[in-house]
Amino acid sequence: DAGVIQSPRHEVTEMGQEVTLRCKPISGHNSLFWYRQTMMRGLELLIYFNNNVPIDDSGMPEDRFSAKMPNASFSTLKIQPSEPRDSAVYFCASSPDQGAEAFFGQGTRLTVV
């Protein structure tokens, strides 16, 4: 299996632009997580899905952030409009079962200038 695949690996955008991050989880995994990593705040859980349904989005910082999972093999995290303080590494992870560990993608480094 190729593991969790995220795209793009790096994204540089101007403030005010829309940014879409993409994730393909491992086939057969039921849960999908979006995390944001910064030096100041560490790894923050933004949202997670179980069987394509959003379960907890309390970590989504503002209405500018939205996430979708239209099917079991694809999820997106959108920021509109983007701001410099959104600059971070965004990780997608998937998990097969209750209590199983999360398998992480390689992350997307987002820089908003």
Partner 1 sequence: AQTVTQSQPEMSVQEAETVTLSCTYDTSENNYYLFWYKQPPSRQMILVIRQEAYKQQNATENRFSVNFQKAAKSFSLKISDSQLGDTAMYFCAFTPMNRDDKIIFGKGTRLHILP
Positions touching partner 1 (CB under 8 A) are: 30-31, 33, 35, 41-43, 45, 48, 50, 55-56, 89, 91, 93, 95, 97-99, 101-104, 106-107, 109
Rounded to the nearest whole angstrom, what is the least distance from the CB of residue 113 to partner 1 in the complex?
A: 21
Q: Which is nearer to partner 1, 55 or 113 (CB)?
A: 55
Counting runs of H as helices and runs of E as strands, what totals does the chain give?
0, 11
Amino acid in position 44: E
Report the C-alpha gap between 80 and 63 in whole angstroms: 9
Q: Which is nearer to partner 1, 15 or 100 (CB)?
A: 100
Sign of the CA dihedral running 65, 69, 73, 74: negative
Rounded to the nearest whole angstrom, what is the least distance from the CB of residue 59 to partner 1 in the complex?
A: 8
Rounded to the nearest whole angstrom, what is the least distance from the CB of residue 80 to partner 1 in the complex?
A: 24
Rounded to the nearest whole angstrom, what is the least distance from the CB of residue 57 to partner 1 in the complex?
A: 11
Report the C-alpha gap between 22 and 7 in whole angstroms: 5
Q: Which of 26, 18, 15, 21 is nearest to 91 (CA)?
A: 21
Q: Which is nearer to partner 1, 83 or 97 (CB)?
A: 97
